[in-house]
Structure 1
Amino acid sequence: MNDAFIVSFCRSAVTKAKKGGFRFTRSDDLAVNIIKALLAKTPQLDTSLIDDVIVGCANPEGEQGLQIGRQIALRAVGQSTPGVTVNRYCASGLETIAIATAKIRSGMGECYVAGGVESMSQIPMEGYKLAPNYMVASEHPDYIIGMGLTAEAVAKKYNASREDQALFAPLSNKIASKAKQNNISDDDNV
């Protein structure tokens, strides 16, 4: 079995939906810019060796639809590199890394670009036309639950108190602020 490694990474900042700095930015444009920045900081990578661009998207509809993974691959890497969209709702981006890892370990490829893209400003939170199957919903009323209820279940399972969560929540911003004050570069944040 082959070993799989993450050799480089890049990300955007996270901003508030409908109000943040990316509220007018298309998801595909955002992802293309990030992948181009990733490739620029990894000049030793021959892009012709990329086996696939795997893109996770929780709501692949509207401008995030139409096989956004392929659209991003075309613009960021080139016509000869395929692209695919993965949907596992909020875990979509993480799932792409698992898929790339599994493909490398099983010998189905050697080099993948994997990650997620989403704009909660450009796409409504519930999507454009949420239409769950009535029969499934009547037999399994919790088959679609929001992240709020998921968070409650995880907190209960791992005994994460409200107080612990309140202490943990601002840590990322504090670390980023301290890094900025100390002129520490964040080359991975595009």
Structure 2
Amino acid sequence: MFKKRRLNRVFIVSACRTPIGKTAGSLSNISDVKLMALTLSEAIKRLDGKNHRYDGVYIGSCFPHENYNLARKSLLEAGMPVLVPGATLNRTCCSSMEALIQGARQIMTGDGEVVIVGGVENMSRSPHVMKNAIRNLRTRTSVGLPAFNEIGDNLMDEVGLCAEISARENNISRKSQDEAAFQSYQNAMRAKRKGYFDNEIFPVKLDSTSPNILLDHDENIPDDITMDMLSNEEPIFIRDGTITKLNATSINDGASAMILMSEKMVDELGLNPLVEYLDSETVGVHYKDFSKAPAYAIDRLLSKNNLSIDDIDLFECNEAYAAQFLLCREMIGWNENKVNVNGGSIALGHPLGCTGLRICTTLIYSMLRLNANLGLASMCAGGGMGQSLLFRNI
């Protein structure tokens, strides 16, 4: 007789990330496959170093260099068994959040007990990213930036211009953007100084037996920054615009990974999970309104779980642009002391395919450090999408 299956609980038992590298910085010469493989290996090492029976690997990447299933090549490079299948996912900036959601669903439905998820982006080596960066630089130096009224209509791939439109339509000033960015830098500098990222970061070496560490800290976080530095920056997308290179994210490199387990497997192995994954929400909006997408995803996630904004103890909301972050803050009305307490992507950097899991990893370790019960991570994605995920402390 057909047996009806119930949804299984999902626990995160290991979570880690590389430091975030600068453009053409310490991680720029490592392929995305190698960077992801190093991070998968670290996640396994943090669990117990053993290769359990993994039921799948999901890797998110926005602009993978490896076009023949980056996930499969990465897991084999990491020394995982050949019987483990891998899938590479692309939901633009939300790619690694999508990897986590799909891995959790595999366990929830009983189609697996142990799944590894990850995200990676080496933007320094991405032909698409660097071609756009060079094009934008040539535009600025040759013909100059366009004015707001000269922006065209087809902006699906022009996320920065969409952010400028959103800032203007919603009266988000340059001053407020610089102030929000300054707060992000201050929080990140303090977190780095106090070692709040130490538990989530592992030092990157090309060979585990090598004494040579390529990077052991977030390279993008400045040693110092002032409001004068922010206010003196020139706009980067339109000449009468408000978005600058200091109140927006940069081009970065990094990878992140987690191991998910069913309640049954956690009990069998006698593990102490980090947190429990509860639920997620994904939304779509017009691509020009991508800045609003995280707010809609948060609202829907809270609603379907019968929660209010005040029930959440900690938030991570990705900072693609200060303008986007401020619009979400205005729409949601969260307590500012609960959001991005260690700084956000403006300060740390935004390696696209890595960031979704990066902010989840940072959130999880912040929940453990601060003994927070419920944590929520959210982010926007180019093309007009947004996601939010809910976690509970054990």
Please give the TM-score of this superposition, normalised by the length of structure 1: 0.75
Gap change, CA 1:49 and 1:186, over 3 Å in 2:
same
Pick the aligned partner of 1:50 from 39, 54, 57: 54
Partners of 1:122 and 1:23 lie apart in 2 by: 7
* Residue equivalent to 2:11: 5
Q: State how 1:70-89 maps to structure 2 within 5 Å.
A: 70-76=72-78, 77-89=80-92
Seen in structure 2, the aligned counterparts of structure 1 residues 60 and 23 have a Cα distance that, compared at 3 Å, is: closer
Instruction: Tell me by how many angstroms 1:167 deviates.
Output: 3.2
Q: Does 1:37 align with 2:42?
A: yes
Confirm or deny: 8 A CA contact 1:48 1:81 kept in the other structure: no
Provide the identity percentage.
29
Separation (CA, whole Å) in 2 of partners of 1:58 and 1:15? 17
State the 1:85 CA deviation. 0.7
Q: 1:125 aligns with which of 123, 128, 131?
A: 128
Amino acid at match of 1:122: R
Task: Return the offset for 1:100.
Answer: 0.9
Give the number of equivalent residue pairs: 174
CA, structure 1 residues 145+39, in 2 after alignment: closer, same or farther (shift >3 Å)?
same
Note if 1:189 corresponds to 2:193: no
State the distance in 2 between where 1:154 and 1:46 align: 48
1:168 equivalent in alignment to 2:180:
yes
CA distance in 2 between counterparts of 1:54 and 1:92 reads 10
Residues 83, 184 of structure 1: alpha-carbon distance in 2 compared, 3 angstrom cutoff: same
Specify the alignment match of 1:136 in structure 2.
Answer: none
1:16-31 superposed matches below 5 A: 16-17=22-23, 19-31=24-36
Give the structure 2 partner of residue 60 of structure 1.
64
CA contact (8 A) 2:40 2:118 kept: no
TM-score normalised by structure 2 residue count: 0.39
- Which one has a bigger Cα radius of gyration? 2
Whichever residue aligns with residue 189 of structure 1, its letter is I
**CA offsets, 1:66-109, max 9 Å, x none?**
21100011122232211111112221111101111222212221
SS in 1 for 2:189: helix
Aligned to 1:147: 159
| In 2: Cα distance, 1:153 partner to 1:3 partner | 42
Report deviation, 1:141: 3.8
Over the aligned positions, Cα root-mean-square deviation in angstroms equals: 3.0
